[in-house]
Structure 1
Amino acid sequence: MREIYAGLPWWVKWVAVPVIALVVFGSLIMTVVGFVIGLLFKALVFVALVGGLIYIVRKFMTNSSSRSGW
């Protein structure tokens, strides 16, 4: 197999084979990329919501503790 591939012209190795691979596996690649981007977006939203919740709870706890001192 390596001998056959080595005997091909450069444009077959570097242009035709990658194009064929993209045509055949393009939808699979796009599905995986879309899943990874969606997962990263959901993780970012999760971190933002947890951070906001922690901020609100700390703000509420400091306000309620300062009022109880009166």
Structure 2
Amino acid sequence: MEKLLKSLPWWVKWIGIPVIALVVFGGLVASLISFVVGLLFKVLVFVILVGALVFIVKRVTSGGSGSKRDR
């Protein structure tokens, strides 16, 4: 295999083979990328919602009576 690749022109190794790989596996690559991006988005939304919930609960439970005493 190595002898075969050495005998090919540079443009076949660096352009032709990657283009063929993208055509053959392009759908798989696109679905994997969309899955990872969707998962990261859901994790980010989850972290934001949990942080907002913790902030609201802390503010309601201690912030209401504590802020009046500080004044």
Q: Same fold (TM over 0.5)?
A: yes
Query: What one-letter code is carried by the residue in structure 1 that aligns with 2:48?
Result: A
Equivalent in the alignment of 2:63: 63
Query: What one-letter code is carried by the residue in structure 1 that aligns with 2:49?
Result: L
Aligned residues: 68
Query: What one-letter code is carried by the residue in structure 1 that aligns with 2:19?
Result: V
Q: Secondary structure at the match of 1:6?
A: helix
Q: Deviation above 3 Å: which 4+ runs of structure 1?
A: 63-66
Equivalent in the alignment of 1:21: 21
Question: Between the two proteins, what is the percent identity of the paired residues?
Answer: 54
Equivalent in the alignment of 1:37: 37
Task: Quote the Cα distance in structure 2 between the aligned partners of 1:51 and 1:60.
Answer: 14
Please give the TM-score of this superposition, normalised by the length of structure 1.
Answer: 0.89
Q: Kindly report the root-mean-square deviation, in angstroms, between the aligned alpha carbons of the 2 structures.
A: 1.6
Q: What's the CA shift for 1:64?
A: 5.0
Report whether the alignment pairs 1:2 with 2:20: no
Deviation digits for residues 25-45 of structure 1 (CA, Å, limit 9, x no counterpart): 000000000000000000000
Task: Quote the Cα distance in structure 1 between the aligned partners of 2:65 and 2:18.
Answer: 64
Q: What's the CA shift for 1:62?
A: 1.1
- In structure 2, runs of 5+ residues without a counterpart are none
